[in-house]
Amino acid sequence: MSMLREAWFAALIALAAAPLAAQEASAPPMLNTPNAGWNVYGPGQTHKARKDGAVQGGSAMRVAIPAKPANAWDVGASVPIDKAIAKGDKLILAFWVRSAEGGTLGAAIQQNSAPYAPIVAGRVDVGPEWKLVHIKGIAAADHAAGAANVALTLGDQARTIDLGPAFVMKAE
C-alpha cells in the first residue's frame, strides 16, 4: 500500500476518533449510528453496559466469557448498519476495544440474515488499553438499507472484553 493511501486511511480512522461535533463538517459518510449499544449473544457469557470516561462517547459494553465455548462464533456481538451498501463501496469498520487478556478477534461487516455472508472481514489485535482498531475492504454486491450489520466473534478464548463505539464508514 502506498504511503499516501496509508495516510488517507489513518486520517479516516482519526476522524472516527474525533469528537462527534468535529466530525459533522468533515467526516466520511457514516453508514451506522455510532454507539456502544452492542447486541451480545451466546452461552455462558454475561454482558453489561457501563460508563467509561476513557473511551470515546463515555460508555462501553463489558462482556465476560468465563470459559472458551466450543466454537469461536458461539459468543459474539453485533450492531446494526442503517444505510445501504453498494457494490464497489470502499468500506471501513472501526471500533474501540480492550481486553486485559489480549488476543485477537474476528470482525466483519456482514449480511444480517442467513447465510450471514461477510461483506468485509478480518481480524484485529486486542490489548489491555483502549484501542481504535479497523478492517477495510470493498463490497462485492449491493445490500439494502438495514440488511447488514457489524459482527464480532468473541469466543476465541475465555476473557473479559470491553467494546466501545463502532463506526462503519464509506470511503470516498
Closest CA to 130 of 73, 62, 31, 37: 62
Query: For residue 25, what pLDDT is reported?
Result: 53
Instruction: For 61-103, write each residue's pLDDT tens digit.
Output: 999 999 999 999 999 999 999 999 999 999 999 999 999 999 9
Instruction: For 140-169, write each residue's pLDDT tens digit.
Output: 999 999 999 999 999 999 999 999 999 999
Confidence tier at 28 by pLDDT (50, 70, 90): confident
Confidence tier at 172 by pLDDT (50, 70, 90): confident
Closest CA to 105 of 47, 163, 57: 163
Which DSSP symbol is given to 72? G
Contact 94, 166 (CB under 8 A): yes
Query: For residue 47, what pLDDT is reported?
Result: 98
Provide the CATH number for the domain formed by 29-171 in this structure: 2.60.120.260
Which CA distances in Å does 4 have to 11, 17, 58, 70, 148? 11, 20, 32, 43, 30
Give how far the C-alpha of residue 38 lies from the chain's centroid of Cα atoms, to the nearest Å: 10
Contact 153, 45 (CB under 8 A): no
Query: For residue 116, what pLDDT is reported?
Result: 94
pTM of the model: 0.84
Query: For residue 29, what pLDDT is reported?
Result: 92
The strand pair at 131-138 and 90-99 is best described as antiparallel
